[in-house]
Structure 1
Amino acid sequence: MARDRRLMAREGARPSYDPAGPDRALRAALQDLRTGRWMAMRALLADTTNWWQWTQRTQVLAAAAAGTDVVRAWLAEEPGSTHAVVMHARVAVERALRAQRERHRRTHELWIEAWDAAQSATGAAPHDPVPWVCLLALAQLDPEQRWEEHRAAPPEPMLPPGPWGLLAEAGKRDPYNREAHHRMLQFLYARGGTGRLAEAAGYAQWAAGQAPAGSALHVLPLYVRVERYRRDSGHDAALDLHWVAEDAAREARRALHSWFEHTHRGERSLLDLNHLAHALWGSLQFPDAVRVFDAIGPYFTPPPWMYRAPGRDRAVEIFLQARERCRAAADGSRP
């Protein structure tokens, strides 16, 4: 039966990128939001009862709402809504980060607006980790660490100073919050330099080492490895060696055994699944990669495949080639 499903998947449609992935309720809310309505978003968030899903859904909704006034309209209609206040902070942060990436002249202004919105959300939703995740996300706009809260002493001597207090506040509300730790990684990347990437790698190993079985933090080292690969992508001749090294293979196995094998399908981030499949394929662990490709199903995410070749269409081709090679090898066929 499993073999039949794999054969059908081989002959089926190309995988698609969908920010909602298999979350049908989120997809419906996104469709409503894109037409300028917020009622489905409000209903979805009211029905979201666990922090990992709340964090994920608010992030995806904010990315879709950042170019609209939908959340502003919701907040104006229901100024006492805690969920609307949190979404307002989410959208403000998304706009500030986009402005920074585009080198927009209003970046600093949008940063301050986002910081104010996130601070307000911490008071309106004192038990919610997302306002603290928002403040962590803004830390990457301060790579020189001019703000005191961005240069706090680390919990371990080998780690660099950073927004550790913000991370701790998110952790008090949702221990091992996935996005919070990814935001810390982005802060460390923003500080720049090869040595700083080594700091990010040390941080990812430390965070994964603290995490219980089933935590998405076990996938963090794979993201740092992709970031190093991305920065070295001008040196094509050595790229494949990056993935077959013993430490790379060990990181992939650890993510498989400590995260993937302890989680249910609906709990897994599509980005994490794609990073794990990519790492297992790159380190030639084909049978295990097939298990992850099967869990990915009809969806894919452009990162990390897009770093093998520019462009989303090429990313799909790389994904398909990797999946086919892994399945052929696992079936005992020639790739």
Structure 2
Amino acid sequence: MARDGVQPAYDPAGHDGALRSALQEVRAGRWMSMRILLEQTDSWSQWTRRTQVLAASAAGTDVVRAWLAEEPRSVTAAVMHARVSVERALRAHREEHRRTHELWLQAWHACDAVTRSAPHDPVPWVCLLALARLDEGQRWDEHRVPPPEPMLPVGPWGLLAEADRRDPDNREAHHRMLQFLYPRGGSERLARAAGFAQWAAGSAPPGSALHVLPLYVRVERYRRSGVREAALDLHWVAEDATREARQAFDSWFAQCPPGERSLPDLNHLAHALWGALRFREADQVFDALGPYWTPLPWACRAPGGGGSARRAAEVFLQARARSRSAARGGGRRHR
């Protein structure tokens, strides 16, 4: 358990010690630990998360290219090559780099190839979903598929269905769909993203990370609102906000094995419970986080909108201390 006041640590590996060791090797330019780790990964949810975190670290290096050169027939290396290609294309898009379109097409071809060499793997389809956001005009047919429900927007539903067929309720696939929806227009599109999150959470089984999706949309709505009076803001204590936080705690946190909880989901849940004044539940989530944190969603509550990680960390520490004080001091749940 982290002590109150101790600066939290951001570590993409979180509680996954084996992943942390592999990341250290990747940063040193070595790929063998990555290969061994992925060979030992025995669930699609863990596979999806580990390949994503490894790719984010490897994207600035040639380590995956070196691995593929040594083992050109390795399907795992090909999956990581697709992952890295997607990460580079997305970064180029964010930076408005002149090579964005070229990198996008390279990544698409890498992913398309892996859908055939690894036909049971959800990751290639998750990667294609990630690339869909680069098609801002929705010019590609695969990004204009009719939705499964009338109130949902047109989008890359076929790609989501392919990922879902291989790993039902895949967490990253649904987050990639949210990212596809976010930038397209103003409040109407954000409402459609909220509808998607509610639809996904409403059909998810107990223990699924999809129950946390509505909390991400609420943070995005707050971020776009421009409201920064966090102590007085009623956005987080509204009836629907409180209901979403409670449902995420009951349907996900209380029923998900600790080893399968992601740091971003834990942070969003702790943030939502603290904002909803449900301090006893928030205290339990902070305990599950231990010494780790993620800058989002705390940055959106920091003074000035959270331009620095230091200010975001201060909000995190204040929320943790307040939740622990209320929960362990024997006081009421609500302040």
**TM-score scaled to structure 2, two decimals?**
0.95
Match of 1:139 among 101, 123, 132: 132
Cα deviation, residue 138, structure 1: 0.4
Distance 2:224 2:62 in 1: 36
2:318 to 321, 327, 332: 321
- Distance in 1, Cα, partners of 2:318 & 2:231: 20
What are the Cα deviations for residues 237-289 of structure 1, in whole angstroms up to 9, with x where unaligned? Answer: 79721101000000000000000000121110110000000000001111111
Q: Which amino acid aligns with 1:256?
A: F
Q: Which moved more, 1:125-134 or 1:311-320?
A: 311-320
Distance (Å, rounded) in 1 between the aligned partners of 2:274 and 2:231: 17
Q: Give the equivalent residue in structure 1 for 2:94.
A: 101
- Please say if 1:54 is aligned against 2:47: yes
SS in 1 for 2:133: helix
Letter aligned with residue 288 of structure 2: A
Partner of 2:282: 289
CA–CA separation in structure 2 for the residues paired with 1:214 and 1:325: 27
2:117 aligned partner: 124
Give the C-alpha shift of residue 307 in structure 1. Answer: 1.2
- Count of aligned positions: 328
Pair 1:89-2:82 in alignment: yes
Instruction: Provide the C-alpha distance between the structure 2 equivalents of 1:103 and 1:333, rounded to a whole number of angstroms.
Output: 52
What is the alpha-carbon root mean square deviation over aligned residues? 1.5
Match of residue 37 from structure 1: 30
Instruction: Give me the whole-angstrom Cα distance separating, in 2, the residues matched to 1:41 and 1:18.
Output: 17
Distance in 1 (alpha carbons) for counterparts of 2:104 and 2:180: 15
Contact map agreement 1:38 1:70 (CA 8 A) in 2: yes
Residue number in structure 2 paired with 1:228: 221
User: Cα distance, 1:15 vs. partner?
Assistant: 1.3
CA distance in 2, matches of 1:126, 1:235: 47
Please report how far the alpha carbon of residue 308 of structure 1 lies from its aligned counterpart in structure 2 after TM superposition. Answer: 1.3
- For the pair 1:259 / 2:259, whether they are aligned, the reply is no
Distance (whole Å) between structure 1 residues aligned to residue 227 and residue 152 of structure 2: 29
Helix, strand or coil: the match of 1:67?
coil
Partner of 1:207: 200
Aligned 8 A contact 1:100 1:107 in 2:
yes
Contact in 2 for aligned 1:30/1:64 (Cα 8 Å): yes
Aligned residues of 2:178 and 2:193 also touching (Cα < 8 A): yes
Q: Of 10, 17, 20, which residue of structure 1 is paired with 2:4?
A: 10
Contact 1:308 1:315 in 2 (8 A): yes
Structure 1 residue 194, shift from structure 2 partner: 1.1
Mapped contact 1:132–1:167 kept (Cα < 8 A): yes
Deviation at 1:142, TM superposition (A): 1.0
Partner of 2:106: 113
- Letter aligned with residue 122 of structure 2: P
**1:26 paired residue number:** 19
**Shift of residue 314 of structure 1?**
1.0
SS in 2 for 1:190: coil
**Separation (CA, whole Å) in 2 of partners of 1:44 and 1:228:** 38
Residue 235 of structure 1: how far off its partner (Å): 5.4
Which of 132, 146, 150 is matched with 2:143 structurally?
150
Encode CA deviations 1:20-67: one digit per residue, 9 max, x unaligned: 001111001000000111000000000001000000000000000001
Inter-partner Cα distance in structure 2 for 1:258 and 1:132: 26
Task: Output the CA distance in 2 between the equivalents of 1:152 and 1:200.
Answer: 16
Question: Contact 1:222/1:279 (CA < 8 Å) preserved in 2?
Answer: yes
The alpha carbon displacement at 1:193 in A equals 1.3
Distance 1:238 1:292, change over 3 A: closer
Q: Which moved more, 1:67-76 or 1:229-238?
A: 229-238
Deviation at 1:73, TM superposition (A): 0.8
Contact 1:290-1:323 within 8 A present in 2 as well:
yes
Percent identical across equivalent pairs? 71
Counterpart residue number, 2:70 = 77
Residue type of the partner of 1:329?
A
8 Å CA contact retained: 2:132, 2:143: yes
* 1:218 alignment counterpart: 211
Q: 1:209 to 1:237 in 2, by over 3 A?
A: closer
Q: Give the stretch that moved more between structures: 233-242 or 85-94.
A: 233-242
